[in-house]
Amino acid sequence: MSNSPLVEVRGLKKQFGPTVVLRGIDLIQSCGECVALIGPSGCGKTTFLRCLNQLETHDAGTVRISSLTLSAGETVPGSKLQQLRQTAGMVFQQFHLFPHRTALENVMEGPLHVLGTPLAESKALAHGLLAKVGLADRAHFRPSQLSGGQQQRVAIARALAMGPEILLLDEPTSALDPELREEVRDVLVRLGDEGMTMIVVTHDMDLARRLADRVLFFADGVVAESGPAEEMFTAAKTDRAREFLRRVRG
């Protein structure tokens, strides 16, 4: 990889109607780095993440991921959008697996139909990824036959199947029962160890601590504090961050 950072966000702003959600966010992230976004509900973390792959359009600022740059107000051609979304894979809080397809077909869907990879190759890839998330034996199950944790692991495999340079994770463990969270955390931590670049929005502090190299604390549409994970969790500088961390730890 080149020396320039993989993600470069400058002055990103977003508002919904009269409500200003993001007031100017900057983020520089290098390849292989894992960033956790934490903060109280409604502070704009998820919106920021969705702006990165343009499920939401931003009102001001620029986003660059890998070689793709998006300025506010520009009409983005469809092909560029698709390219962006192939570069930045996404995992949703509610998994959003395709219920009419098996786990294997969910994972194959992208390579086979979007990238045009031959069937046999897509299938081998999908089997490999399912094995990687520990679901080799569940390949032919429908989502409705899988537990929440298993569904989320399939969703991760589905995102990885597109060969993304970065993974955007929107509260990947929030919809899961506590005992199922661990299996998803394990998969993500292993991915991070392998050098995957990730941005994870989360309320799951165990996940943030294990996964993140750096933590950004969002409050009222700005990054109120940021720093190395260890430092944030032990010695946050601002009162708000300390207060927030004390509360989520219970």
Nearest residue to 71 (alpha-carbon basis) of 83, 86, 54, 87: 54
38 is a site residue for another protein (CB under 8 A): no
The footprint of another protein on residues 104-133 (CB under 8 A) is 109-110, 113-115
- Binding part of the chain for another protein, among 87-95, 121-129, 177-185, 209-217 by CB under 8 A, reads 87-95
**Binds another protein (CB under 8 A): choice among 7, 37, 43, 97:** 97
Q: Kindly tell me which residue out of 29, 53, 66, 102 binds another protein, with binding defined by CB under 8 A.
A: 53
Spatial distance between the Cα atoms of 51 and 13, rounded to a whole number of angstroms: 10
Instruction: Considering only the stretches 1-9, 14-22, 86-94, 211-219, report the one whose residues sit in contact with another protein under the rule CB under 8 A.
Output: 86-94
Dihedral angle sign, alpha carbons of residues 51, 165, 96, 120: positive
The single residue among 162, 219, 222, 248 that binds another protein, judged by CB under 8 A, is: 162
| Contact yes or no for 92/42 (Cβ under 8 A) | no
d(CA 138, CA 180): 16
Mark residues 188-227: x for contact with another protein by CB under 8 A, - for none: ----------------------------------------
- Using CB under 8 A as the binding rule, whether residue 140 contacts another protein is answered as no
99 binds another protein (CB under 8 A): yes
Q: Which stretch binds another protein (CB under 8 A): 94-102, 121-129, 180-188, 222-230?
A: 94-102
Q: Within 10 A of 232 (CB to CB), how many other CB atoms are there?
A: 24
The structure tokens listed for 200 are 């994870």
Question: Of the ranges 131-139, 154-162, 171-179, 206-214, which one interacts with another protein (CB under 8 A)?
Answer: 154-162
DSSP assignment, residue 138?
G
CB of 100 to another protein, least distance (A): 5
* Three-state secondary-structure class, residue 9: strand
Beta carbon of residue 90, minimum distance to another protein (angstroms, whole number): 4
What DSSP string describes 95-137? ----TTS-HHHHHHHIIIIII---HHHHHHHHHHHHHHTT-GG
Distance CA(21)–CA(18), nearest Å, equals: 9
Applying CB under 8 A, which residues contact another protein?
Answer: 53, 55, 78, 82-83, 85-86, 89-90, 92, 94, 96-100, 109-110, 113-115, 142, 158-159, 162
